[in-house]
Amino acid sequence: MFSAQNDYANALTAFNIALNQPTETEITLDETLDKTVTPLPSLDTDLTNALAHRHDVRERRLQLKQQDIAFKQGKLNTLPSLFVDLFGSTGRGLNGHELWNYNYGVAAGITFDFGFFYLDKYRTRQNLTRTHENAQLDFEQFLRSMRDDVVQTRNALALKMQSMEISDLRLQAATQKFEATQTKYKNGLMSATDLTVAQQAMVSAQIEHARLLTDLEITKLRYQYAVGQNIFEYTLEDL
C-alpha cells in the first residue's frame, strides 16, 4: 500500500512539473480513453501525409532551398568578372561658327584570375560543391529516418491494437470466471479461497487492460505525430 502511494506521489509530482504548476496540485484524469482505432491507411499514404504536413520536413526543405541559393550565389562570385562602360562627350572650338562635335561609345570586357587568385576561387568552388552535396545527402538521410519513423510507429500501433484485442478477451474470460465462481460460492460449491483467487485474476486482468489502454493511446499519438497530424489544437495566443 505504501509503495503504491509513493509511486502515485512521484507520478503526480512529475506530471505537475511538466505542466509548470505546483507539485502538490491534485489532478482529475479523464477516464474515458477511446480504444477504437480506425484501420491504418497504406504506407504510401502515410508517407505522403508525413512529407506534406510534418513541420520538421518543411523546415528541412527550407534549409535545403537556402543552401541552394547560397551555392548558386557563391558560384556566381567565382566566375570571371564582366564589365561594360558607356561614355559620351560633346564640344566645339572657340569659334562660335563651328559645329558641335559628339563622341560616344561603349566598352566591354572580361577579366580572368591567374595564379593565387585563380587557386583561391578554385578552392572556394570546391568547398561550395562539397557543402551543397553534403546538404543534399543530409536531406536524403533525414527522409530515410522519417520513413523509418513512420514504419516503426505504424508497426507499434498495429501491435498495440492486437494486444488490446487479446486483453479484451482475457478480461472478459476473467470476469466471467469470477462471476461463475461467485455464484458457486453463494451456493456452497466453491470455497472462499477459490473466490479470492478468481477475484485476484479479474483484478489483474483489469489492471493489465487499463495499462494497455494507456499504452494504446500514447502509441496513437506517436503515430499521428509521425504522419504529420496535429495531436492537439492550439492558437498563437496559447504559446
Its pTM stands at: 0.68
Domains of the chain plus CATH, in order, are: 34-230 (1.20.1600.10)
For residue 46, the model assigns a pLDDT of 94
Closest C-alpha among 170, 215, 179, 216 to residue 198: 179
User: Which of 12-26, 87-101, 170-184 is the most confident on average?
Assistant: 170-184
- Beta carbons of 180 and 190 less than 8 angstroms apart: no
pLDDT band at 17 (very low <50, low <70, confident <90, very high): confident
For residue 145, the model assigns a pLDDT of 95
pLDDT band at 239 (very low <50, low <70, confident <90, very high): very low
Closest C-alpha among 111, 118, 126 to residue 71: 126
Q: Which long-range contacts (CB under 8 A, 24 or more apart) does 50-54 make?
A: 50/146, 50/150, 50/226, 50/227, 50/228, 51/143, 51/146, 51/228, 52/228, 53/227, 53/228, 53/229, 54/146, 54/226, 54/227, 54/228
- The residue that leads in pLDDT, 196 or 102, is 196
For residue 29, the model assigns a pLDDT of 63
Model confidence pLDDT, tens digit, residues 140-163: 999 999 999 999 999 999 999 999
User: Which of 27-31, 107-111, 165-169 is the most confident on average?
Assistant: 165-169
- The residue that leads in pLDDT, 231 or 177, is 177
* pLDDT greater than 70 at residue 117: no
The mean pLDDT of the chain is: 82
pLDDT band at 104 (very low <50, low <70, confident <90, very high): low
* Side chain identity, residue 29: L
For residue 116, the model assigns a pLDDT of 59
Closest C-alpha among 29, 25, 31, 30 to residue 12: 25
For residue 37, the model assigns a pLDDT of 66
For residue 228, the model assigns a pLDDT of 92
For residue 5, the model assigns a pLDDT of 73
Least confident of 84-88, 169-173, 197-201, 215-219: 84-88
The alpha carbons of the chain give a radius of gyration, in whole angstroms, of 37
Q: How many residues belong to the chain? A: 239
Task: Give the whole-number percent of the chain exceeding pLDDT 70.
Answer: 74
For residue 82, the model assigns a pLDDT of 60
